[in-house]
Amino acid sequence: MGEFELIRNYFAAAPCAQAGEGVALGIGDDCALLTLPPGEQLAISTDTLVAGVHFPAVCDPFLLGQRALAVSASDLAAMGATPVAFTLALTLPEVQADWLQAFARGLNVMAQSCGLGLVGGDTTRGPLSLTLTVFGRVPAGQALIRSGAQPGDLLCVGGPLGDGAGALALVLNEREVEASTAEYLLARYWSPQPQIALGQALRGKATAALDISDGLLADCGHIALASGVRLLVEQDLLPLSEQLMRLSGLQAAQQAALSGGDDYVLAFTLPAQHLTGLQEAGWPVQVIGRVEAGEGVALIDANGQDIPVLTRGYQHFREIR
């Protein structure tokens, strides 16, 4: 099967590849054409996932399709953007019809859930890897960025932390746990749900935001650096799921939440006057600390005392410490 037949058979005909809002021209030409409403900006993000680094080399292709797009779409959520379209560059060691069918189905499920249309990409032969570029739109000047945090803001997250990292032992078949716990944690790893609606709700309220991919402490460090402030994370306020607690116990669950990564929930700084309104509206906003003058990120206990941190998160080519 040639490259163009592969694209036609498995991707161009998928529901997510049909023209939708904001897509003037999709798959089939040298470029896709996107249309933005007046007064809006284009948000763009690219992620590459490599077998054996970002996911097990042998895994369910349907789940891989979901996860690959969710990871990228989460960046749009972090900017408060409305999803529009995405491209896929797929490198395959060989063409296997069953694998491609399952992968394309998983990709389509997540694309339709996020409101993203497939508008192009590339295929080539080589070690399995996926590069996805997502496009979103956001009213000019309203994008959530990392550089606006102010002393006195609250530090918040959009839901439980550590589930993705905790699930890794299950993904690698290194642990066994009761079925209901395994089902929840594996879903958090393979099918994270980008917090797109929350990101949009935070426009005009949050002063800085990002999605947690490499670990809470490491990612909060990006906000601290960009904003020129110090972030304090209170360990006892970390939101932990019952399932992670059953799998790991308190101490390991806290470590997964702090440095494990793979959460794909939003972390953001918020002026205190917006907290009640967001919570009363049903948004999953949980306070885990605060912003103060200074630099860096510190982990503290309920009395405000520093807690030593050995590992802050993950970064390619070296570990963040």
Tokens of 291: 């912003």
Q: Which CATH architecture has domain 154-320?
A: Alpha-Beta Complex (3.90)
Average pLDDT over residues 2-23: 77
Fold of 3-139: 60s Ribosomal Protein L30; Chain: A; (3.30.1330)
Q: Does residue 317 surpass a pLDDT of 60?
A: no
- What 3-state class would DSSP assign to 176? coil
pTM over 0.85: yes
Cβ(202)–Cβ(123) under 8 Å? no
- Taking only the tens place, the pLDDT of each residue in 126-155 is 999 999 999 999 999 999 999 999 999 999
Segments making up each domain of the chain, as ranges: 3-139, 154-320
Buried b (16+ CB within 10 A) or exposed e, 4-36: eebbeebbbebebbeebebbeebbeeeebebee
The predicted structure's pLDDT at residue 3: 67
The predicted structure's pLDDT at residue 170: 94
The predicted structure's pLDDT at residue 12: 77
Length of the chain: 321
- Taking only the tens place, the pLDDT of each residue in 219-258 is 999 999 999 999 999 999 999 999 999 999 999 999 999 9
d(C-alpha 109, C-alpha 65), whole Å: 9
The predicted structure's pLDDT at residue 28: 82
Rounded to the nearest 5°, which phi and psi values hold at 269? -105, 145
